[in-house]
Structure formats: C-alpha cells, structure tokens
Amino acid sequence: MTSRRTLADREDVLGGVMLAPALAYVVLLVGVPFFLAIALSFSNATAGSLSFQWTGLGNYAAILRDPIFLRALRNSVVVTVGTQVLVIILATAAAQVFRATFRGKRVARFVMLLPWAVPVSLAAIAWTWIFDSTFSVINWTLKATGLLHGWLYWLGDPALALLAIIIVQAWRIFPFATVIVLASLSSIPQEILEAAIVDGAGFWRRLFQIELPLLLPVVAVAVLFGVVYTATDLGVVYILTGGGPANTTHVLPTLAFQRGILGADLGQGAAIAVFLLPFLIVVAIAMLRVARRAEVGGAAR
C-alpha cells in the first residue's frame, strides 16, 4: 500500500488537467478565429498582405449599400425561416408515424436517419442532379404524372433556386428534428394522452391542443439548433447554386466566402460573416426564454 497521493486523489488539480484539452480547443479553434473575424471586420485587411489599417465601421457601411449583400441577407432569412417551418411540419408528422408500431419500422427509421449521416457535399452534389435543368427527376416525375406542363429550371430561376435550397436544408435537418420530437412525445405521460381520448378529443385536437403545447419547450430548442445550423451553412448553397444565377441566391456565408476568400477582401468578408451574429444571439435568447416559459407554465406536473 502506498500512502502517496496520486493525481486521481487531488480533485482540484485533476479537474484542471481534464478540462485542459477542451479549453484549449475552445480557445484556439473557436475563440481565436471568432474574435479575429470580429477584429478583421473593422479593418481593410486583404488575403494578400499582412499589414492592414483599422477602418472602423467602413466595411459595414459598404455592405449595407451593396444590393448583393442586401439580397443575400434577405435570402438568409428566407431560407432559415422557410427551412424551420418545413422541418417542424415534417418532423411532427414523421414523429406521429414512427410512434405507431408497424412492420419494417426499424428499417424505415434507419432510412429516415440517413440524411443526417451523409456528408453535406455529397448530398448537395446528388441534389444538383435532382434539380438539374435537363435531367431533373422531379420534373420527369411531375411530367409523367401529368402535374407539370411546362418545364421548371430549378437552379436557374432565383425563386425556384431558393425553394430548392430550402428543400435540401430541410432534408438535412429533418431527421434530427424528428428524433427530438419523437423523444419528447414519448416523455408525455401516457395517461394525459388517454385522458384526452376519453374526453372525446379527436386526432387533430389532441395534436394541436395537447401534444404540441407540451412539446413546445423541446421543439423550441430543436428550432434554435436548426436556425443556427441553416443560417451558418455554406456547403449546400455553395455547391447547389454557387450564389447564382447572377448573385441572386447568395446567403451570408457564401457571400462572405466569395468576398473574403475568393475576392481576397478579408475585411468585408468578415463584416458579412459577423453581420448576423447579433441577430442570432437575440433569436437564441428569445427561443430559450420561450422554452423556459413553456416549461414553467406547464411541463412540471
């Protein structure tokens, strides 16, 4: 028996040691780039040289006068909000389906989860084919079923291209949202759902007046994740449309990449990238408050 104190006995030191890797990761790979981006957005730095000057709010003033930026800002909002709406509807519906027991449920659930596991770039490339101007399987299907008479240029028309982006983003987030809704559905006490049945409530009344209000805290958190996830995503738009046609489908991350990296104007790129930050923080706080309020107002029995 040794009486020497080992590292495992010294909780004060042990805690620090075990936290260190995570702290280093957050500081070096998240914190530094984050604050660097904020700093760069107030400068005229370019990708080609190490010297730069502070320009105050110059970059922000410039992008706010830029119609392409304003368009990208609008697109970001449309895509983010549109995606969340679509995801909530789909995920709630899918959760209802997966709550029932049926043959092949495991397989169906596996297939449903697949989009979550597919790398963004691969998925986006597959989707470019689905939306291809000549070979679009969507168009062929619509034609074959007689629902479409003309021809849809999915990625060539600005409005359709935005819709396409929303569809792909929703497709990506939907599995995650479904799992969350499913989990919180199963946390609603069975007796409450049975009470609603005995009280004479039909499916829709149970869904809208009992289940969804009780799901609200969890759905709010899922939406918050979805908002951040979509608002900051670069890959889908970059591969699907590249911001085109004619810069009409840029979202803020792709425009920031185009200006800051491809266009070498680091300062302006940083300003575009950082622009949404205050709004996202406000959204996050608001959603978390909704979740908390709903929880205090209800979930505790």
Partner 1 sequence: MAGIEIRNLRKQFGDLPAVDGVNLSIRDGEFLVLLGSSGSGKTTLLRMIAGLEHPTAGEIHIGGERVDGDVPPRARGIAMVFQSYALYPHRTVFQNIAFPLEASRTPRNRIEEKVRWAADMFGITRYLDRYPRQLSGGERQRVALCRALVRDPKVFLLDEPLANLDAKLRNTARDDLKQFQRRIQTTTVYVTHDQVEAMGLGDRIVVMEHGKVRQVGTPQEVYEDPVDTFVATFVGQPPMNLLALRDASLPPGTLVGFRPEHLLPRNVFGPGEELATFRFAVRRVEYLGSDRYVYGAVAESAAPEATIIAKLPGTIPLTIPEGETHEFAVPRRLLRYFDADTGLRRRP
DSSP one-letter code for 135 = T
User: Which of 260, 262, 281 has its CA nearest to residue 41?
Assistant: 260
Q: Does 195 engage in binding with partner 1 (CB under 8 A)?
A: yes
CA 87 distance to own-chain centroid: 10
Stretch that binds partner 1, among 22-30, 134-142, 209-217, 230-238 (CB under 8 A): 209-217
- Give the residue with the Cβ less far from partner 1, 277 or 290: 290
Task: Label residue 148 exposed, middle or buried (CB < 10 Å: 0-12, 13-18, 19+).
Answer: middle
Which residue among 58, 115, 213, 242 contacts partner 1 (CB under 8 A)? 213
CA dist., res. 206 & res. 210, Å (int):
5
Q: Does 22 engage in binding with partner 1 (CB under 8 A)?
A: no
Which residue among 32, 70, 93, 192 contacts partner 1 (CB under 8 A)? 192
User: Which of 78, 44, 29 has its CA nearest to residue 271?
Assistant: 44
For residues 76 and 276, the answer to whether their CB atoms sit within 8 Å is yes
- Give the residue with the Cβ less far from partner 1, 126 or 195: 195
DSSP one-letter code for 157 = S
- Give the residue with the Cβ less far from partner 1, 77 or 207: 207
Site string for partner 1, 267-296 (x = CB under 8 A): ---------------------------x--
Residue 208 CB, nearest approach to partner 1 (Å)? 12
CA dist., res. 131 & res. 47, Å (int):
35
Task: Label residue 108 exposed, middle or buried (CB < 10 Å: 0-12, 13-18, 19+).
Answer: middle
Stretch that binds partner 1, among 37-45, 109-117, 190-198, 218-226 (CB under 8 A): 190-198
Which residue among 160, 196, 228, 284 contacts partner 1 (CB under 8 A)? 196
Q: Does 197 engage in binding with partner 1 (CB under 8 A)?
A: yes
Q: Does 100 engage in binding with partner 1 (CB under 8 A)?
A: no
Residue 102 CB, nearest approach to partner 1 (Å)? 17
Which residue among 202, 223, 261, 265 contacts partner 1 (CB under 8 A)? 202
CA dist., res. 107 & res. 91, Å (int):
17
Q: b vs e for 236-247, b when ≥16 Cβ sit within 10 Å of the residue's Cβ?
A: bbbbbbebeeeb
User: Which of 158, 197, 198, 201 has its CA nearest to residue 71?
Assistant: 158
C-alpha dist (Å) from residue 253 to 180, 230, 234, 237, 261: 27, 10, 5, 9, 11
- Give the residue with the Cβ less far from partner 1, 86 or 299: 299
Helices and strands (H and E) in the chain: how many: 15, 0
Site string for partner 1, 214-253 (x = CB under 8 A): x-x-------------------------------------
Residue 213 CB, nearest approach to partner 1 (Å)? 5
- Give the residue with the Cβ less far from partner 1, 5 or 103: 103
CA dist., res. 240 & res. 168, Å (int):
9
SS3 54: strand
Stretch that binds partner 1, among 168-176, 188-196, 241-249, 263-271 (CB under 8 A): 188-196
Residue 204 CB, nearest approach to partner 1 (Å)? 11
Binding residues for partner 1 (CB under 8 A): 189, 191-192, 194-202, 205, 209-210, 213-214, 216, 294, 297-301
